[in-house]
Amino acid sequence: MPLSRVKPEHYNTLLAEKVERVSALFRPFSAPEPEVFPSPPEGFRMRAEFRVWHEGDALDYVMFRPEDRKTPVPLAEFPIACSRIQLLMPALMQRLRCEPLLRRKLFQVEFLGTLAGDTLVTLVYHRRLEDDWEQAATELASELDISIVGRSRKQKRVIGRDFVREKLPIDGRSYHYRQYEQAFTQPNASVNIAMIEWACRQARDLGGDLLELYCGNGNFTLPLSTCFGQVVATELSKTSVRAARENLDANGIDNIEIIRLAAEEVAQAMRGEREFRRLAQLPKPLAEYDLRTVFVDPPRAGLDQYTVQMVSEFPAVLYISCNPHTLADNLLTLGETHRVEQFAMFDQFPYTDHMECGVLLRRKQ
């Protein structure tokens, strides 16, 4: 996203235009008027990554315009980043410019912050990192009060921790999350809170047990567990599964089972087409759960046809989508069996064309 599009004084107008475009996409499905959740106009991103440009003694964070991928645009500021990252960026760059061990063949810098104030910086290199690099990075981490991960080809060095700790206030309760470096997390923390609280409101009266696909580190799973008897949550990424299990323990939640399965594999298991040894970890067979609701938060490609078919067999479907177009495609099938009862938009990515959406689908009588 070009920073030239970041105009906080025009945010409300830009949001209204985006809401109208997305609303038009869902009118064929008789969706109700959407509940719209805006973002803070500035300081909303908890993640940021930049190429590092070397020009003689100069060293700068740079981005590239979509129409010109060869000409670097140096960044003097990055107003959409959270305040901690905004303060850290110039301090880190000043230190990197003065330390040959840290700047040599440095290719990229990645920031990961939290509302809780924890910050991790990943430095990506086109060279092998030796012990002298680790000593210099350790001094830098101490000076800036951050953790540092150094990466190069087939190499990872960790100074401090390779994760950050987050604390999100959800419906009067604080949930603690461990978010690992290079694992997926929601980039806009305030909108993420709105998304979780909206999902919990829709789930409150659904009853029974919950099946969740693409659970990640348990971002939605933990708060949603208060609305159901039992939760079976699935995720393919090993790092995310580990984080989710650690987050269950950290929050003292005991009605969730995390299973490492892809969504397609869950669909096969639900249809009885395959047996998976990993499902033996459940305290009882999957068929014995009272699974009345399925919650999905898929990648941009949406649900594949087999998963859509499996999801369509549930009385209630809670669907969070980062791509309205693939959600609309999925609704072409799901709309045959379900109606859109609730509809929401979450401006996770201000000043872009992207809009996060949420729908509650109920089976038609």
Q: What is the DSSP string of 103-117?
A: HTTEEEEEEEE-TTS
Q: Given the residues 227, 265, 356, 357, select the one marked as catalytic.
A: 356
Of the pLDDT bands very low, low, confident and very high (cuts 50, 70, 90), residue 28 is very high
pLDDT tens readout for residues 239-256: 999 999 999 999 999 999
> How is the chain split into domains, by residue range?
3-41+188-363, 47-164
Spatial strand order of the sheet with 316-321 comes to 35-37, 338-346, 356-363, 316-321, 291-296, 209-213, 231-234, 256-259
Q: Given the residues 82, 200, 227, 322, select the one marked as catalytic.
A: 322
Q: Are 247 and 176 in contact (CB under 8 A)?
A: yes
As a dihedral over the C-alpha atoms of residue 249, residue 252, residue 254, residue 255, rounded to 10 degrees, the angle is -110
As a dihedral over the C-alpha atoms of residue 48, residue 169, residue 318, residue 206, rounded to 10 degrees, the angle is 170
In the predicted model, is pLDDT for residue 63 greater than 80? Answer: yes
pLDDT at position 66 = 79
pLDDT at position 325 = 96
Q: Are 38 and 15 in contact (CB under 8 A)?
A: yes
pLDDT tens readout for residues 65-108: 878 888 899 998 999 999 999 999 999 999 999 999 999 999 99
In the predicted model, is pLDDT for residue 1 greater than 70? Answer: no
pLDDT at position 274 = 81
Report the alpha-carbon distance of residue 30 to residue 339 in Å, rounded. Answer: 8
pLDDT at position 251 = 97
In the predicted model, is pLDDT for residue 2 greater than 80? Answer: no
pLDDT at position 276 = 86
In the predicted model, is pLDDT for residue 237 greater than 80? Answer: yes
Report the alpha-carbon distance of residue 142 to residue 135 in Å, rounded. Answer: 11
Report the alpha-carbon distance of residue 107 to residue 91 in Å, rounded. Answer: 18
Question: 47-164 — its CATH code?
Answer: 2.40.50.1070
SS3 call for 209 = strand
pLDDT tens readout for residues 315-365: 999 999 999 999 999 999 999 999 999 999 999 999 999 999 999 999 998
Structure tokens at 14: 């830009």
Nearby residues of 313 by Cβ (< 8 Å), 6 or more positions away: 270
| Lowest mean per-residue pLDDT among 170-179, 221-230, 275-284 | 275-284
Of the pLDDT bands very low, low, confident and very high (cuts 50, 70, 90), residue 278 is confident
Q: Are 48 and 110 in contact (CB under 8 A)?
A: yes
Asked if 322 is an active-site residue, the reply is yes
In the predicted model, is pLDDT for residue 10 greater than 80? Answer: yes
pLDDT at position 264 = 87
Asked if 357 is an active-site residue, the reply is no
Cα distances (angstroms) measured from residue 165 to each of 203, 219, 252: 27, 13, 16
Q: Are 316 and 295 in contact (CB under 8 A)?
A: no
CATH of 3-41+188-363, one of 3.40.50.150, 3.40.50.720, 3.40.630.10, 3.90.700.10: 3.40.50.150
pLDDT at position 250 = 96
pLDDT tens readout for residues 163-213: 999 999 999 999 999 999 999 999 999 999 999 999 999 999 999 999 999
